[in-house]
Structure 1
Amino acid sequence: MEDPLWVSMMVWGTWLLVAIVIDGVLLPLKLLLARKSLKNLNNDITVEDDELPQISIVIPAHNEEERIHECLLSIINSEYPPEKMQVIAVDDGSEDGTRSQIKKASVDAIMKGVRIQLIEKIHTGKVHSLNTGLRKATGEIIFTVDADVILEKTALKNMVKVFLADPDVGAASGYIEVRWDPLKVRFREKFFSRCEFLEYLNSFNFERNYQSWIDSLYTMSGAFSAFRREVMGSVGGYWPVTVAEDMHVTMMLHKKKINVINVPDAIGYVSAITDYDTLYSQRSRWARGQLEVAAISGKSYYEENRTSFRDILSIIRDSRDPKLIKLIFSYLWNLLRDSFKELKGKTWRYFDLMGLMRILFVDHTIAFPRLLWVFVLILLPFMGLYIEVIPVVMLLMYVFYILVDLIVTVFTYNYSSGKTRQKIEEAIPFIVLMPIYRIMIFCFRVSAFLQSLNEPADWKVEGPINGIKNGANNMKENVAKSVEAMILGLSGTYFSRKRGK
């Protein structure tokens, strides 16, 4: 017997309510906290050039021939005094014309009074390249900038102002904004570029602003960040333990109670990724790094230094002394006492309800149930179940997520510069496609979770389309080799028989 319509609506209404609770309930609080963060950002002070500190800018590069020249030009043409800039370009064993482009930019730099220091090394990866540059850095504030980032003229000065205004700030993350090529007019290219722009506007602008206010910023932008020199030294630079070195160093700074903030008007531009496989590779690396860092950073001081309950039971079993049973009660008492100490006086950073803990819960803990529901929804109509209700609920959910993105976009529009506002106005029609884009990115992340279980970490991950193409090419090669081997075998048999006769 089919359920009455009101029962179906109750069932699916509850399912819709879950989405609203996860992604909608906290939105008003996020907006309030983001507004507070923007209102209290201490970068509106006036600083004369002679008051600005010496800075060092480290740019790691591997096969960045096409982009590093423009990156270096944006640095040397910035509004920061050239005599107070140390620019360090670390070539990580590039096999293209990266070194030539750095030397070409060095000529332009000399005309501006800036010297670019080129360090050449064998290819050992981004982390080792960053640390090589850090060891040569002499500035009070050290910047790390990816070779494909184009800095706004005011970006360096706006970042430094925050450090000057607040001595408690130990590290800061810039705002990464997506730019697109106006000559790329195909729908696929426009879809990827505009949706990426809106996604970055949400993540690198809005999300990091409210996380900055509650001291829960869990990932500084690896593409554009800054540190006090002594702060970077206190954590030993970057560690080669994960593919997400920017997230790992952020978590290390938090463990040392160092204040990490977001600076939304320190802007760096990156080109939009309009290639499906490249986007898949990037998001898979991010998702895998998030899991790795969460595993590394998950234990508190008390957990790391606490004897496990299994060890207590092993001691009692091996000693065969009934009196040692009291160790169990002692263990439980110490567990409660340590837990109370951890809770006492904790701030937003440690509860982290809207930082890493929530991200891990939404993206990882409930990822597979959400993916399962996608397949269930497809199957239910074929089973004759909820045929009238499913389209209504799906439409309501689609509209709900459009509204969430629209509210965040309008909010960020009010606090954005003129250039960013123009791009928002151009990208806003694509907001109706954002739920589709986010579902695609969600599938990328789930794939990365599965991939991390049985494959070693790598900076570049093969995308599905390239995987299919390469698989087809390998199959062709294998078939060709098999046919060749069969022909040679038959030929050998034929001639051997002929000689025998």
Structure 2
Amino acid sequence: MIGVVIPAHNEENHIHQCVISIIEAANHPGLNGMPVRLVVVLDACTDATEGLAASEGVMVLNVHYRNVGKARAAGAELLLDLGVGWLAFTDADTLVPPDWLVRQIEANADAVCGVVEVDSWRGYGDRVREHYLSLYQFKDEHRHVHGANLGVSAQAYRRAGGFQPLPSHEDVRLVADLESTGARIAWTSSNPVITSARRDYKCREGFGEYLTNLAISLCSSPSALESSHPVNVQGAEP
């Protein structure tokens, strides 16, 4: 059985489409009927996120952490207790492709780190988009880590100690812990997800803030970025 965890804090504008995309991935014929359980972890939500998620028949879990590491861990523990053998993680403002889960399973690895595509560069402009793309490694064997596109076996997750209670970079820490245990990690570009470039990001030091800071730096001091190194490890927002 596969488990999918979506942490969410007031995501009424995004959660429905995210859930729909995961339901489509869960019904992919390539899974050969393997059951998929999806949980939306509602972290201190005060808007309509719960109702929108529940309307699609998925599980919801209410917590009050305001901490993405704790939220992801809570969702993972719930699914592990239900007996899932594989955990997949994404974000509430993200759309996964129909073969997302199939490709994670077919990677035959202890964990899968996928890449992301930005839904729209409106508000940033071509200059920021081109610079971002020049830094991003959209290829196999990349070294990006995104909580929006991550999968791990239940055994490897437990062995690594799971998500730590971090307010940001919890995904980066988990992958580092997986590597320290000798886990086989597939760094693939074959299953990209589409994530939001919105400026009203919910997690400090996540993907949204990275894009915002990139735009600010580029506009204020273009020469400062000419020697920038490619982004090696990137956290993601909840």
Residue 8 of structure 2 is aligned to residue 61 of structure 1: yes
The structure 2 residue matched to 1:89, chosen from 37, 40, 43, is 40
| Higher helix proportion | 1
| Matched ranges for 1:263-412 at <5 A | 263-273=188-198, 275=199, 282=206
Paired with 1:94 and 1:441, the residues of 2 have a C-alpha distance of 41
1:244 is displaced (CA, Å) by 0.9
Contact 2:115 2:189 in 1 (8 A): yes
**CA 1:246–1:272 in structure 2 vs 1: closer, same or farther (change >3 Å)?**
same
Paired with 1:84 and 1:440, the residues of 2 have a C-alpha distance of 50
Once superposed, which parts of structure 1, at least 4 consecutive aligned residues long, lie more than 3 Å away?
80-83, 194-198, 275-287, 435-443
Q: Which shows bigger deviation, 68-77 or 125-134? A: 125-134
**CA 1:285–1:257 in structure 2 vs 1: closer, same or farther (change >3 Å)?**
farther
Paired with 2:64 and 2:163, the residues of 1 have a C-alpha distance of 18
Counterpart in 2 of 1:99?
50
Contact 1:178 1:200 in 2 (8 A): no
TM-score normalised by L of structure 1: 0.38
Contact 2:2 2:37 in 1 (8 A): yes
- Across the aligned residues of Structure 1 and Structure 2, the Cα RMSD in angstroms comes to 3.6
1:436 is displaced (CA, Å) by 4.3
Q: Name the SS for the 1:105 alignment partner.
A: coil
Contact 1:243 1:285 in 2 (8 A): no
1:178 is displaced (CA, Å) by 0.9
Stretches of structure 2 that go unaligned for 5 or more consecutive residues are 226-236
**CA 1:245–1:282 in structure 2 vs 1: closer, same or farther (change >3 Å)?**
closer
Q: Percent identity?
A: 18
Q: Name the SS for the 2:47 alignment partner.
A: coil
Counterpart in 2 of 1:128?
70
Contact 1:94 1:123 in 2 (8 A): no
- Deviation track 1:96-134 (CA, whole Å, cap 9, x = no partner) reads 11101112222xxxxxxxxx1111122341111111111
Counterpart in 1 of 2:86?
141
Residue 151 of structure 2 is aligned to residue 226 of structure 1: yes
Which one has more relative contact order, counting CA pairs under 8 Å at least 6 apart? 2
Paired with 1:210 and 1:118, the residues of 2 have a C-alpha distance of 34
Counterpart in 2 of 1:174?
114
| Matched ranges for 1:5-84 at <5 A | 54-78=1-25, 79=28, 80=31, 84=35
Paired with 1:141 and 1:197, the residues of 2 have a C-alpha distance of 36
Q: Name the SS for the 1:205 alignment partner.
A: coil
Residue 118 of structure 2 is aligned to residue 191 of structure 1: no
Contact 1:244 1:285 in 2 (8 A): no
Counterpart in 2 of 1:255?
180
Paired with 2:162 and 2:69, the residues of 1 have a C-alpha distance of 9
Stretches of structure 1 that go unaligned for 5 or more consecutive residues are 1-53, 107-115, 164-168, 212-216, 288-432, 444-458, 461-501
Paired with 1:266 and 1:438, the residues of 2 have a C-alpha distance of 35
1:205 partner amino acid = F
Paired with 1:72 and 1:284, the residues of 2 have a C-alpha distance of 20
Q: Name the SS for the 2:190 alignment partner.
A: strand
Paired with 1:262 and 1:281, the residues of 2 have a C-alpha distance of 22
Paired with 2:72 and 2:204, the residues of 1 have a C-alpha distance of 25
2:172 partner amino acid = M
Residue 185 of structure 2 is aligned to residue 238 of structure 1: no
1:271 is displaced (CA, Å) by 2.3
TM-score normalised by L of structure 2: 0.76
| Matched ranges for 1:442-481 at <5 A | none
Q: Which shows bigger deviation, 194-203 or 231-240? A: 194-203
**CA 1:122–1:270 in structure 2 vs 1: closer, same or farther (change >3 Å)?**
same
Q: Name the SS for the 1:264 alignment partner.
A: coil
Contact 1:93 1:123 in 2 (8 A): yes
Contact 1:55 1:143 in 2 (8 A): yes
Paired with 1:144 and 1:261, the residues of 2 have a C-alpha distance of 15
Q: Name the SS for the 1:135 alignment partner.
A: helix
